[in-house]
Every structure is written in structure tokens, then in C-alpha cells.
């Protein structure tokens, strides 16, 4: 039995030693009372209020949605009520709502990308692209919605997933009714668009709401309404549409969860009832206490958990639970969803490439060995090399991305690539390397300089500490500190710009590096945007050529994509023999590696330069080793052999190797010296004192 409010604590009035015998000040006493109420499970917001007090408030002082009349939809106690008509216990229909407020400043590109992704192919029931809709239109103009919200401070994003969603052919009517209810609660018309997704086992609606009211003011929604009110409204609508959920219906659903390889409601009930990781089913508490059939469901589930090594029998009707039971089951459920996605995408890719694959023997290992979910499974060490099958959203809000890669090791890989935005065209060849969390030499240098100078660091202190250091070198350390400060908020500097370096600075750096690693856990290298089957007969340097010329070739599986690459290598090898670029003697191939790659690259460059010469109206001049190149960097040219920088002179142009470091200098005058066939040392501007870039 729960204690009454006036039984929670006892007030004792007396002298206070700390306060010189004076009574404590009211604010201090109130703070202590609120703390005690919270510790005892009470609601400190209701201290001193009557039962007629308004609902608790949260969020901004002018936030809308406070005190909305949602009590009828709020499940009381266990959520069960008695239905006189059927004589059974019933409860409201359940709806999951995930809400997020997105700041829009400087994110126009990201918003557009997000909306395009929501309308991607295959999300509707019939496998067609999704379409935004709104209150009165089944085809809403997404571009117009973005333009209207270009100056908004923020945007609300909802994901609404009714538990009974599979029973509906369309969620549009439900979503429109929900938005109408929200407009009533918030006291304003809302500018919104939504799209329904049926590409998972849980149909759901993505709803985007502009952060403005109908009169153009900023829309702030109370935190309690976002956290609870929207869900209650959705539950109310779904319950009216389908009727309340009966106890029998719930029981049937739970029976299907007994053998599930994921975190279920039965598991949550077990975890809630457990004490110190021990569950005793003879002492079930709550609304299902004394229900023998419910107890039997829990017994059956715990026996399944035993087989999973997540529970161990501890006595009659009692089990000891694994400490990582919840996380393991969550990972198993997520892995199952991912595997289903991978299987679907791999079948689709196989169907699309049927003509190419028909002559290739593609034996496949069992599914449990074929699919690798990085981050959940423990894959073999080393890079992942393979063909991009799918790029998609790795989280509900579509901020993180994943890649499905058909690897040369014969397995299919699912990799969460985080916020990485490197272009990865479908069918292209990629290499993925996991990023490691590690300190940089600059971090240790900063600590060393600061330790010798009273915990302080700046450029002057660095140069005084190390007279051989260049000022530009010391400035890179300052930029490093500024980046860490912005990301962690744990660094500070004096008004004159001198940084204060704490003794635990390297720990702060590791926190920063782990954050970066979570945001972009892998390094993506695009080996070739051209699918492997398109590389066998081109007059350019391909990944197949580099692999043939390599002294340490990649290990290729005889299964799956590895078999495709083996076949492509044989065909490319024969084409090179026919072109007299390599020679076969018995089982050996004779060729000069550097000469082969240079010849193929020169053919590609000359062919592309001929087209560019007609476009620009000026002749092409080939860049030679040791030659000084000077001109204006006009643009980047992508060829089969790689990327090149187009440098335009007064009467001619040339093509030289490209590097990411020069991209921000488009339109500037650059001077450089060719170092061999594939590198160049640049100076930005005509003055020799300008910044240089070694390539």
C-alpha cells in the first residue's frame, strides 16, 4: 500500500547549527522538502497544491499544449478497465510516438536530403515511392513546404506507429485525424506534411510540422504534451477506430512472443518483477498477479531464455537473469530486422544482375554465416571491400546511414557509417576501414608545452618552448584545441587567448575522439564508381588493373561477389593481352607495372582532353614530370582512371592529379611542380610565400 502524501516525511523544527540558531530560509527549506518528496516517489510539482490544481507544466512559459484535456485517453493504473458488454477486461490501443525538435539554422541541405529520403522507392505497400500528403491533398508539394519553412527556427518531426498499423491499407485518415486533434489542443492550425512507410514490419507515418503558428509566431509545444499528449491522442483515435483491446487479444499476442528472438513485453515484465537479477514467479505483483495463464506464459518465456543462456534456473519458479539480458535481446531483435533487410536487398540485386551472373557459379553459405552485422556481430578483422548494394537510414530519424556491401570475402556486410556523406553509387566498389580512437601527436605536444609553462598554451608559448617550430605549425595546435572546445565544452581560455590545459587534458581529447568515432565510425574509400563488370574492356586504369599489378592481392572468395571479381579479373587479363599491354608465358604474366598503369591512364586522359578541348575552345597540353604548372584551377574532372584538376592557362589547359585539399581553391591561381606521373606539389597564388600543398 502506498503511503499518503502526509506520511512521506516528518518535519522537525529546531535550531540549525550552520545558521547560527536561525530558522532556515524558505527557499532552502522548500528545496529540501521537494528533494524528500521526489526521493519517496511523490510528485514535487504538486507539493502544496490542491486536487483541483491545473496539470503540471513543462517546457517554455508560452508553450502550447499544457493542460490539454487528454484525461479520457490516459490509461489509469495498469491501463485495464472492465467492459460490461463483453464481461472482459479491455485497454486502449497502443501507439508508439517518437518526437524530435530539429533546429533548422544552416541545415537547408540536410532538410532537403531528409525529405527526399522519406519519399524513396519501395516504402509504400505496393513497393512504389512514398508521397507526402497533408490535410486536404494526397499529393503535397514537398519543395513548397521547404520553401515556406526556410526561415523557421525549428521543425517538429514525429514518427507515429500504431500497434495495429498492419490492419490498415493506409494511415492517411488516422494521421489527418491526429493532426486535427493536435490543432485543437495547441490552439492553432499547423503547417504539416506526412508520408506513410510500409517497408518494415511496423507501418508508421513520418510527420513534419513547421515550428510556426498560423499567425506566423514561433510555435513552442509543451514538453509534457510532446512526451505524452500526442501518444494519448493517437491511442484515443485508434481505440475509437478498432475498439478497445481485449485481454484475450493481448494474451494471443503474448503467446506469439514466447519464442521470439528479440526483446518482448514478456521480457519487460520479467525485468520489472526481478530483484537483483532474480525473478520469482511465485511473487508476481501488479494487475496480473494470481493469473495462472499469465504466469505460465512467463515460465515458457524464461525456459526459452534459458536456452539462449540469458537465464539460469535458481529454484522452484525462480531464475537468475543475465546482467546483459535486455541489451542482448535488443541486439538480437535489431539484427533480425537488419538481416531481413539485407536478404531482401541481396535478392533484388541478384535479380537485377541476372544476365551477368548466369554464367557464374555462385554457391552460397548458410544465412547465419553469409550475413555480418557490424556493431552487433563480431566480424573478422581487416577492411571490407565489396560492391555497394544499398544505402539507407540506420535510425528512425534518418540522420545516420548504413551501407550493405556484398564483400569479396563471399559475405554480405551491414555497416552503420554514421553521418558519413561520401558518395557511394550503387554497384560501385568501396573499401571500408573502421576508425580507431587514438590521440594525435599534436595532443601530446600541447600537454608537453603546457606542463612546462604552468598549464598554459598559445602560439607564442609554443614557439618560445620550441624555437625550431614554425608559427603555422603551432597554429594547427590552436585549431585542434578550438575544435575540441566546440565539441565538448570542456576547454577554456583566458581573454588574451591563452588556453588553460588541465592535467586530464588527454582524457578530454579521448572523449572528443570517441564522439567523432561514433559520428563517423568508418573511413570510406571509393575504389571505383564503375561496377566491376564494366571495367573489363575500358581504355583506362581500373581497380582490376591495380589488383592485377599488386604484389599483395586481395584474398577473393570462390563464393558470391568474390566469384564475380575472379571472373572479371580473368576477362580483364585477356583484354590486356589482346591489347598487347601484357604478355603471357605459360602460367606467368609479363608486364611492367608502372608502364601498364601509365599507358592506360594516358589513354583515358587524352580521350577526355579531346572532348574538353572542343568544349573550352583551347588546346590540351600534357603535364610532364618535373614541369612547372601554373594557371587557374577551374574544376574537377572525374574519369574512369580517377579525379583530375583542370588547370586553365591563357592559351591552353592541362589535367593534373586531384586531391581533396585543393577543392576549396577552385577559381584561384595555382602553381605547382609535377612529381612523377601521379603527384604534384602546389603553391596557392603566384607568390612563392603563399600556402603550399604537397600531393
The answer to whether residues 619 and 637 touch, using CB atoms and an 8 Å cutoff, is no
- pLDDT tier for residue 37 given thresholds of 50, 70 and 90: low
What pLDDT is stored for residue 36 in this prediction?
58
Nearest to 677 by CA among 651, 653, 695: 695
Mean pLDDT for all residues in the chain: 83
Using the predicted structure, report yes or no on whether residue 205 has a pLDDT greater than 70: yes
Question: Can you give 22-91 as a three-state secondary structure string?
Answer: CCCCHHHHHHHHHHHHHHCCCCHHHCCCCCCCCCCCCCCCCCECCCCCCHHHCCCCCCCEEECCCCEEEE
What are the pLDDT digits (tens) for 450-500?
A: 999 999 999 999 999 999 999 989 999 999 999 999 999 889 889 899 999
Evaluate whether the domain defined by 71-245 bears CATH number 2.60.40: no
Evaluate whether the domain defined by 441-519 bears CATH number 1.10.10: yes
Using the predicted structure, report yes or no on whether residue 49 has a pLDDT greater than 90: no
**Range among 187-201, 312-326, 617-631 with highest mean pLDDT value:** 312-326
Using the predicted structure, report yes or no on whether residue 325 has a pLDDT greater than 90: yes
What residue segments make up the domains of the chain, in order of their start?
A: 5-46, 71-245, 258-319, 328-424, 441-519, 596-694
The more confidently predicted of residues 246 and 511 is 511
Neighbours of 295 (CB within 10 A): 16
- pLDDT tier for residue 7 given thresholds of 50, 70 and 90: very low
CA–CA dist 337, 320 (Å, integer): 28
Q: Tell me whether residue 487 is exposed, middle or buried, using C-beta atoms within 10 angstroms of its C-beta: 0 to 12, 13 to 18, 19 or more.
A: middle
The more confidently predicted of residues 51 and 295 is 295
Three-class secondary structure of residue 437 per DSSP: coil
Q: Find the mean pLDDT for residues 72-77.
A: 43
Using the predicted structure, report yes or no on whether residue 237 has a pLDDT greater than 90: yes
The pTM (predicted TM-score) of the whole model is 0.74
Q: Find the mean pLDDT for residues 44-65.
A: 51
What are the pLDDT digits (tens) for 114-129?
A: 888 888 766 777 778 8
What are the pLDDT digits (tens) for 153-195?
A: 999 999 999 988 888 888 999 999 999 999 999 999 999 999 9
Three-class secondary structure of residue 676 per DSSP: coil
CA–CA dist 433, 247 (Å, integer): 51
Amino acid at each position: 500500500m502506498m503511503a499518503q502524501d502526509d506520511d512521506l516525511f516528518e518535519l522537525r523544527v529546531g535550531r540549525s547549527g550552520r545558521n547560527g540558531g536561525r530558522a532556515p530560509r524558505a527557499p532552502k527549506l522548500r528545496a529540501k522538502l521537494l528533494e524528500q518528496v521526489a526521493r519517496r516517489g511523490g510528485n514535487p510539482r504538486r507539493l502544496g497544491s490542491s486536487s483541483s490544481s491545473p496539470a503540471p507544466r513543462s517546457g517554455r512559459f508560452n508553450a502550447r499544449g499544457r493542460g490539454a484535456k487528454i484525461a479520457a485517453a490516459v490509461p489509469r493504473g495498469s491501463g485495464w478497465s472492465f467492459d460490461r458488454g463483453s464481461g472482459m477486461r479491455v485497454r486502449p490501443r497502443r501507439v508508439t510516438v517518437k518526437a524530435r525538435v530539429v533546429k533548422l539554422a544552416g541545415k537547408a541541405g540536410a532538410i532537403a536530403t531528409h525529405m527526399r529520403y522519406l519519399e524513396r522507392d519501395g516504402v509504400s505497400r505496393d513497393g512504389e515511392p512514398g508521397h507526402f500528403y497533408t490535410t486536404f491533398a494526397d499529393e503535397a508539394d514537398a519543395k513548397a513546404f521547404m520553401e515556406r519553412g526556410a526561415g523557421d527556427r525549428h521543425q517538429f518531426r514525429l514518427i507515429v506507429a500504431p500497434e495495429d498499423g498492419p490492419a490498415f491499407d493506409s494511415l492517411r485518415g488516422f494521421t489527418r485525424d491526429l493532426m486535427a486533434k493536435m490543432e485543437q489542443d495547441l490552439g492553432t492550425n499547423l503547417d504539416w506534411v506526412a508520408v506513410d512507410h510500409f517497408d518494415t514490419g511496423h507501418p508508421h507515418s513520418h510527420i513534419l510540422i513547421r515550428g510556426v503558428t498560423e499567425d506566423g509566431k514561433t510555435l513552442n509545444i509543451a514538453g509534457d504534451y510532446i512526451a505524452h499528449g500526442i501518444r494519448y491522442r493517437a491511442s484515443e483515435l485508434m481505440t475509437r477506430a478498432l475498439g478497445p483491446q481485449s485481454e484475450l487479444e493481448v494474451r494471443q499476442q503474448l503467446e506469439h512472443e514466447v519464442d521470439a528472438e528479440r526483446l518482448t513485453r514478456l521480457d519487460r515484465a520479467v525485468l520489472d518483477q526481478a530483484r537483483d537479477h532474480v525473478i520469482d514467479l511465485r511473487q508476481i505483483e501488479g494487475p496480473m498477479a494470481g493469473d495462472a495463464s499469465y504466469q505460465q506464459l512467463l515460465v515458457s518465456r524464461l525456459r526459452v531464455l534459458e536456452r539462449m543462456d540469458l537465464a539460469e534456473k535458481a529454484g522452484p519458479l525462480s531464475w537468475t537473469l543475465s546482467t546483459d539480458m535486455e541489451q542482448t535481446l535488443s541486439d538480437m531483435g535489431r539484427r533480425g530486422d537488419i538481416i531481413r533487410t539485407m536478404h531482401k536487398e541481396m535478392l533484388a540485386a541478384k535479380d537485377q544482375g541476372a544476365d551477368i551472373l548466369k554464367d557464374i557459379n555462385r554457391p552460397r553459405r548458410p544465412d547465419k554465416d553469409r550475413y555480418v552485422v557490424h556493431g552487433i556481430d563480431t566480424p573478422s578483422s581487416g577492411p571490407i571491400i565489396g560492391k555497394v548494394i544499398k544505402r539507407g537510414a540506420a535510425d528512425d530519424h534518418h540522420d545516420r546511414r548504413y551501407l550493405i556491401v556484398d564483400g569479396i570475402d563471399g559475405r554480405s556486410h551491414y555497416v552503420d557509417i554514421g553521418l558519413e556523406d561520401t558518395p557511394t553509387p550503387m554497384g560501385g566498389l568501396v573499401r571500408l576501414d573502421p576508425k580507431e580512437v587514438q590521440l594525435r601527436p599534436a595532443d601530446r605536444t600541447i600537454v608537453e608545452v603546457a606542463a612546462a609553462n604552468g598549464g598554459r598554451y598559445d602560439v607564442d608559448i609554443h614557439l618560445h618552448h620550441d624555437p625550431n617550430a614554425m608559427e603555422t605549425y603551432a597554429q594547427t595546435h590552436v585549431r585542434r584545441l578550438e575544435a575540441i572546445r566546440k565539441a565538448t565544452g570542456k576547454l577554456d581560455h583566458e581573454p588574451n587567448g591563452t588556453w588553460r590545459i588541465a592535467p586530464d587534458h588527454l582524457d578530454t581529447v579521448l572523449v572528443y575522439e570517441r564522439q567523432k568515432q561514433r559520428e563517423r565510425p568508418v573511413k570510406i574509400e571509393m575504389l571505383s564508381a564503375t561496377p566491376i563488370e564494366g571495367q573489363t574492356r575500358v581504355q583506362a586504369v581500373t581497380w582490376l588493373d591495380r589488383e592485377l599489378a599488386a604484389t599483395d592481392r586481395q584474398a577473393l572468395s570462390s563464393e558470391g561477389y568474390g566469384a564475380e571479381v575472379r571472373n572479371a579479373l580473368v576477362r580483364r587479363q585477356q583484354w590486356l593481352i589482346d591489347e598487347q599491354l601484357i604478355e603471357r608465358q605459360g602460367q606467368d604474366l609479363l608486364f611492367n607495372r608502372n608502364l601498364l598503369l601509365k599507358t592506360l591512364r594516358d589513354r583515358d586522359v587524352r580521350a577526355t582532353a579531346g572532348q574538353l578541348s572542343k568544349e573550352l575552345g583551347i588546346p590540351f597540353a600534357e603535364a610532364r614530370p618535373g614541369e612547372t604548372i601554373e594557371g587557374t584551377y577551374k574544376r574537377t574532372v572525374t574519369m574512369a582512371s580517377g579525379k583530375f584538376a583542370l588547370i586553365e592557362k591563357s592559351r591552353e589547359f592541362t589535367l593534373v592529379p586531384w586531391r581533396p585539399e585543393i577543392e576549396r581553391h577552385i577559381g584561384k591561381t595555382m602553381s605547382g611542380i609535377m612529381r612523377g606521373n601521379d603527384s604534384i606539389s602546389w603553391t596557392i597564388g603566384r607568390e612563392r610565400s603563399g600556402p603550399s600543398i604537397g600531393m
